[in-house]
Amino acid sequence: MEKISKVRGTEDLLFEDTRKWHIIEKIILDVATKYNFQELRTPIFEHTQLFVKGVGETTDVVTKEMYTFDDKKGRSLTLRPEGTTGAIRAYIEHKMFGYDNQPVKLYYLGPMFRYERPQKGRQRQFNQFGIETLGIKSAQVDAEVILTGLEVCQKLGLKNLKVLINTLGDNESRENYRNALIEYFKQYESQLCSDCQKRLYKNPLRILDCKVDHDKEIMKKAPLLKDYLSAEADAYFNNVLDILINLEVEYEIDNRLVRGLDYYTDTIFEVVSLNKESGAQSTLFGGGRYDGLIASLGGPEVSGIGFGMGVERMLISAEIENPSLFDENYLDLFVMPLDSAVQNYSFKILEQLRKMDIGCDMEYFNKSLKAMFKYCERNKIRYALLVGEQEQANNTFILKDLVNNTQEELSIELLSTVKERIENNA
């Protein structure tokens, strides 16, 4: 019979993988909590219009990459391609702008879907950890968002990275810039790809982010936003940079950074991995401020800022830069019945150990001692608890420390001391 395989661009995470994910997820949750972000869980699918309005109708994400389908009542729904717009929808729907605790600081962690060409670090179903701080515009908050992401990198042991930062300015700056871009690109209209020809008058900023036109000579000479910044937007950006300098955060200003989603204003940033082995997809996390998004989706005129972090990409980098992060063993002890007659006695001990919160398992196949030790070695289990007919008769057990290669026979009454021994040697 023909086998049905997984969908291109999706992954099964097997046991070794999920263990690594748990380690990364724990670090992410600890950092988010420490910085006072609270978890928001929104649905995996939303009304298509939310993303069209929020992300922007001329973006690649909306025009080419969304998984959109009609439900049985003919409503157009879309699997979320990113987390910000859904979070803002929930913020407005639940009137979070009225909460006593302001600004609202939220995070999310979960799958996103984009129909992109799969390659290392780029999937069609991928996971994002994202944070958003809503209801305030403040340079400290801009810095805080970047620092939260960098702290996750640091806790994962990632050092080989670069912070790229730029500003898209306020509405006035962008309007001036928009006009300058139209003036510039209309001279070269025929050299632009067909998508960019459509974008020229609608959304010329998107041309700068086009994957097709990216390397063309005309891109290099395009006007830069920094030359159109209002005094206010310039001062705001410089304040953000000052804070980063004061905190000794190294960054590089990238005047050509625009990001691929339409909602950004003022500060934008991307943190890229410099590991060659990470593949072409090197942006670990990226984000920025959005002044108009919340109002455009029906909320109040308040500002927000956040980032989205690709968890798969963080994992790839951690495997390269800090493989020992994943060395953690999950079982402390393995119970080894030396004879089939002692299986029940062994099983009772096993259950008693579990009640003491010791991570343990036992051999059910009556395997040889050699095979059982091999199992411990393979699974990095430090302690073996051996029981034979003699131990059963004497109400004892043998505890073997496989690292120090020592062993002792203990009375069953001393089973409760096993936990202490494990903890003392941890």
For 64-82, give one letter per residue: b (16+ CB within 10 A) or e.
ebbebeeeeeeeebbbbbb
Q: Shortest approach of ligand HAM to residue 311 CB, angstroms?
A: 8
Question: Residue 349 and residue 384: Cα distance in Å, rounded?
Answer: 12
Q: Shortest approach of ligand HAM to residue 412 CB, angstroms?
A: 53
378, exposed or middle or buried, with CB in 10 Å at 0-12, 13-18, 19+?
A: exposed
The residue length of the chain stands at: 426
Q: Shortest approach of ligand HAM to residue 189 CB, angstroms?
A: 28
Q: Which is nearer to ligand HAM, 302 or 372 (CB)?
A: 302
Q: Which is nearer to ligand HAM, 114 or 382 (CB)?
A: 114
Q: Shortest approach of ligand HAM to residue 155 CB, angstroms?
A: 17
CA proximity to 307, closest of 72, 426, 155, 143: 143
Q: Shortest approach of ligand HAM to residue 288 CB, angstroms?
A: 6
Secondary structure element (H or E) that encloses residue 360, with its range = strand 360-362
CA proximity to 397, closest of 41, 265, 381, 389: 389
Q: Which is nearer to ligand HAM, 185 or 236 (CB)?
A: 236
The CA-to-CA distance between both ends of the chain, in Å, stands at: 50
Is 170 within 8 Å of 230 (Cβ atoms)?
yes
Q: Which is nearer to ligand HAM, 103 or 287 (CB)?
A: 287
The residue whose Cβ lies closest to ligand HAM is 310
DSSP conformational letter for 326: G
Token pair belonging to 150? 């960098």
Q: Shortest approach of ligand HAM to residue 358 CB, angstroms?
A: 38
Q: Which is nearer to ligand HAM, 54 or 337 (CB)?
A: 54
Q: Which is nearer to ligand HAM, 18 or 119 (CB)?
A: 119
Q: Which is nearer to ligand HAM, 237 or 285 (CB)?
A: 285
Sheet (strand 45-47) strand order: 45-47, 76-79, 67-70
Question: Residue 174 and residue 191: Cα distance in Å, rounded?
Answer: 24
Q: Which is nearer to ligand HAM, 157 or 279 (CB)?
A: 279
Q: Shortest approach of ligand HAM to residue 86 CB, angstroms?
A: 9
Q: Which is nearer to ligand HAM, 177 or 285 (CB)?
A: 285
Peptide bond into 300 cis (omega under 30): no
Q: Which is nearer to ligand HAM, 284 or 349 (CB)?
A: 284
Q: Which is nearer to ligand HAM, 112 or 207 (CB)?
A: 112
Chain-centroid distance of CA 344 in Å reads 45
Q: How many CB atoms lie within 10 A of CB 291?
A: 21
For 321-358, give one letter per residue: b (16+ CB within 10 A) or e.
beeebeeeeebbbbbbbbeeebeebbeebbeebeeeeb
Q: Shortest approach of ligand HAM to residue 411 CB, angstroms?
A: 56
Is 362 within 8 Å of 350 (Cβ atoms)?
yes
| Amino acid at site 245 | I
Q: Shortest approach of ligand HAM to residue 38 CB, angstroms?
A: 16
Give the phi and the psi of residue 18 in degrees, each rounded to 5: -65, -30
- Given the rule CB under 6 A, which residues bind ligand HAM? 82-84, 114, 116, 121-123, 126, 128, 130, 132, 260-261, 283-288, 306-310, 312-313
Q: Shortest approach of ligand HAM to residue 101 CB, angstroms?
A: 20
CA proximity to 372, closest of 76, 247, 383: 383
Q: Shortest approach of ligand HAM to residue 82 CB, angstroms?
A: 3
Token pair belonging to 325? 């992060």
